[in-house]
Structure 1
Amino acid sequence: MASELYTQIKNGVKEAMRSKNKERLSTLRLIQAEFKRIEVDERIELDDARILVVLDKMCKQRRDSINQFKDAGRDDLAEQEQKEVAVITEFLPAALSEDEIDTIVTEAIAESGAASPQDMGKVMALVKPKVQGRGDMGLVSKLVKSKLS
């Protein structure tokens, strides 16, 4: 049985085909291709949790590309990547605010009993499932470091 997100993306492809929205269709097909690649390579069927990880990674890759394209003066390519990010983020849950992330990190530190930077792994293990796809993991990492030092 396909996951709910997988089905939403599949339906998005059909809708983009009907409306002849080539840019959206192209991005949705990129997403589907990445899902297929993972399923074939790892011989698994993706669930919603793993799909969120994949979509989050795709967004991060595109944001990195946007920065590199802007630095190189290729605004046309940066704009294309930005459009792809917009389509991908439609399937991610609503983003968490910095205050919400701070609360999650504080709770995880208390729950894990972490006291020093060496305990960062324990804290991140508790935080990651709650924040995945909903917040910048780089920001989370900085927050955890600052609270543990």
Structure 2
Amino acid sequence: MSLLEQLNSDMKLMMKNREKDKLVVIRMVKASLQNEAIKLKKDSLTGDEELTVLSREIKQRKDSLHEFSKANRLDLVDKVQKEIDILDVYLPEQLSEEELQTIVKETIDETGASSKADMGKVMSAIMPKVKGKADGAVINRLVSEQLSQ
């Protein structure tokens, strides 16, 4: 079942159960998926493309969460955190930090990276491997740590 089909199914369930907060978030993500399909001039998105859109939506919310917490807007922090929790359900299972460290080490060895100057090369090689399964900021931190040793 594709992400869009899952969202449609959950949307019907949320309407029946009158879960307005979840329904609003699901509709926003569904609209983003449809907009992406229009932008790419496709009838439907592939699984990877859907995952990219979902990851982008979550990243935007995490960025907002950070800004709202800096501005001490706890009302908005709670709202955005709930949206992130709703969307996390649709992501594939996240990799543990140990698994990520292993992938980072393997990728550094594959690319022959030896210093922080090679950071871009490592990041571009590693991101397709962990797409949707890890936060880019965590990957960036792990790669940076490994290259500075």
Assess same fold via TM > 0.5. Answer: yes
Q: Which runs of structure 1 show a deviation greater than 3 angstroms over 4 or more consecutive aligned residues?
A: none
Identity of aligned residues (%): 37
Q: What is the alpha-carbon distance in structure 1 between the residues aligned to residue 145 and residue 70 of structure 2?
A: 30
Alignment of 1:43-122 (within 5 A): 43-44=41-42, 45-122=44-121
Task: In structure 2, give the amino acid aligned to 1:121.
Answer: G
Where does residue 19 of structure 1 map in the other structure? Answer: 17
Alpha-carbon distance between aligned partners in 1 of 2:107 and 2:69, rounded to the nearest angstrom: 37
**8 A contact 2:104–2:142 mirrored in 1:** yes
CA-to-partner distance for each residue in 1:16-54, whole Å, 9 max, x for gaps?
Answer: 111111111100000011111111122133111121121
Q: Which moved more, 1:121-130 or 1:59-68?
A: 121-130
Q: Offset at 1:125? A: 2.5
Give TM-score, length-normalised by structure 1. 0.89
How many residues in Structure 1 have an aligned counterpart in Structure 2?
A: 147
Q: What SS does the aligned partner of 1:130 have?
A: coil
Counterpart of 1:9? 7
List runs of 5+ in structure 1 lacking aligned partners. Answer: none
State TM-score, norm by structure 2: 0.89
1:30 to 10, 28, 31: 28
Gapped regions of structure 2 (runs ≥ 5): none
CA RMSD of aligned residues (A): 1.6
Letter in 1 for 2:58: C
